[in-house]
Chain A
Amino acid sequence: MSIPFRQETFRDDFTYRNSAEAVRRFPFPFPQDAYMYSVNIEPHVSVDPGSVYEHTFDIDEHYIAECEDRAITLGKTKNRFLALPHMMDAQWDTLELLMTSMARDYPDLFALSRDGAKWHWMNKPLNIDQHFVFGDTRTLPYAPLEYISRQGQGDFILLDQREGNLWVDAGVVTTQADWSLAFDVGMSFNEWHGPVPMAAEIGVFDRALKFLLMLQHGAPVRRLNWTMTINPRLDTSPEHYDQWGPDRASVTPENVGAKVHLRVEVQTLFRLPRSNGVLFGVRCYLASLNDLVTNPAWGQRLHRVLRDLPQPLAEYKGLVRYRQTAVDWLKQFDQSHS
């Protein structure tokens, strides 16, 4: 298996595009014509060869470009990698999980050899050949979490478990849907979900937290989340809203199919063995409306979901400004007009 990596950008000229194969395997998130929050958690096991769920950490045609975009964000802006001091074991746990998973699932791209604490890591797509001592931060060019996150797609957040809660105590966050690690760091599960409308009332968070506190090593779980983004931009951070917020006003009936992207997060949660922390992976997939309507079932369903989305959710997800334009355009793909 060899992945044809694309040369592309997620900012400025936005040359990001999906191949037909990337569209085919896009994790379309709507199992029915209407959307509401639920505890939509399932075991993170390998299913459907070729799908985004085949491997523990999916590597796709955007891998190199995403790593380049992350390096730009980490270099230009502050506080995108943060780790409280008690999270060092969880950082190493994460590095171990990513390296062992990537080397096992993509042996033609990554290789790991271990002799006790002496590790040798090879990342062929990024031309990295690293000898280091596991547990010794002086032998890596970055902190363990930042080091491995620079070689992964999606954000990686580390949660500490104590007092019957989960605390956001470390992370690398550069592909986020309008939330800030610098603002949330040190917060509990209930605090960082505070802004989400309607979900707490139906008990979603209490049940999800209870479930996650019991998450067991060797039995990771996943769920999907979604929003929409104008232009294929990975870094939509609240600190830099001035750079991307105005894009929402640029959507017209003529450009809506190319500009408006469905942004789907495959969120994974792993119990970390040595630290008892939890790794929360948030992997972002972007597809334009033009991409999505190549699948007639998706075009029809997305029209209905967007049209009927409760207003508080539309406001929270930041869709209000262009929702109607998108719905009007999508209507042509929903001929039965249910």
Chain B
Amino acid sequence: MSAMRNVVVSRIQSLAPGIKEFTFVAPPGEELSRFSAGSHIVIHSVLKGKPHHNPYSLLGSPDDPHWRIAVRRQEVSRGGTAYMHEELKEGDTLRVSEPINLFPLVRLGRKYILVAGGIGVTPILSHAREMSRLKMDFEVHYAVRSAEFLVLSDELRALAPGRFYTYFDSEQERPDFKQLFGNQPLGTHIYVCGPSGMIDACLNAGRAAGWPESHLHSEKFLAAEHGEEFTVVAAQSNVTITVASDTSLLDALEEAGLNPPCLCRGGACGQCEAEVVSCDSEFEHRDIFLTDAEKSSRKKIMPCVSRVKGGTLILNI
């Protein structure tokens, strides 16, 4: 189980249509821990009686006494971002995880190319801040739908003067990854965060240019998408649960009082890996942790984002 703490919402600020920035401080008498570039926290919220757990990157400076995140309201929200945008008020107390980093800085690079798409700018900003402090060689490429969505750009421009490039969909502008990666010094690392299509295009361009996987870094959080209702049996605990179509398997296990270990809740960290005893229907693996062979073995599942298409799933938990 990940370490948890309370924070108090000290400021809510609108950055762009559908995008808000939230500032959190520690409750009186406590201190927030510092964190490393690329870290996120998981916010636990309850909306209409249902628990939600959403990861958000910390975009502020680790030296500040507060934590900052930015949240885009998802049109098809499973509730977490709607809660943040519509229910949360300044002065409220939130239950959040301590910082977790699945997108850490490799400090041995010769040069860094940071690529952000939309709200994916948040971890990229924290990396730019760290690279600026450490006097590393880096440049920032930031693509958004149109100029009004170019949030947090003043901070980025100040951190990377003369090395900050923007691209607007509305102007038919896109980063040319092939050109960008085709002529970089050996030892350059790419950090990309944004929509899936952009991440894939960016990483594929890096691979095509002959870059090693160890120099390609991406962060993609997977929302636990909805699916069919199914039944799960926790064999060790002898508990049978119905997982509703709009609830993740992990949330359902937790509601039933089981607390499997978990960290990122985004299919990336591997902490909640569960052993499958049997399953009489099809798997919907949505994580990026298990290998293809493991996914087709029908022996493992990541309950935070993956599920089955109806029927009964028996887990060894």
Contact = CB atoms under 8 A, between A and B. Distances in A.
Interface of A: 86, 160-163, 210, 214, 216-219, 273-276
B104 A273 contact: no
A160 B2 contact: no
A113 to B, nearest CB: 14
Contact of A163 (B97, B107, B214, B271): B214
Q: Which 7 interchain pairs have the tightest Cβ spacing?
A: A276-B36, A86-B107, A218-B3, A218-B98, A273-B34, A219-B3, A276-B104
B98 A217 contact: yes
B276 to A, nearest CB: 19
B36 to A, nearest CB: 4
Interface in B67-100: 97-100
A216 B34 contact: no
B303 interface: no
B108 interface: yes
Contacts, number: 52
A133 to B, nearest CB: 13
Contact of B270 (A162, A163, A214, A219): A214
Most buried by A among B3, B97, B270: B3
Contacts of A214: 263, 269-271
Q: Is the interface of B mostly helix, strand, loop or mixed?
A: loop
Given A214-B269, A214-B270, A273-B36, A86 B108 contact: yes
A217 B107 CA distance: 19
Nearest to A220: B3
B100 A216 contact: yes
B105 interface: yes
Contacts of A86: 107-108
A163 B109 CA distance: 12
A216 B2 contact: yes
Contacts of B33: 217-218, 273
Contacts of A275: 36
B105 A276 contact: yes
B65 to A, nearest CB: 11
B18 to A, nearest CB: 31
A219 B2 contact: yes
Contacts of B99: 217, 273
Given A214-B271, A218-B33, A273-B34, A160 B98 contact: no
A323 to B, nearest CB: 40
A127 B201 CA distance: 60
A86 B39 CA distance: 19
A92 B200 CA distance: 37
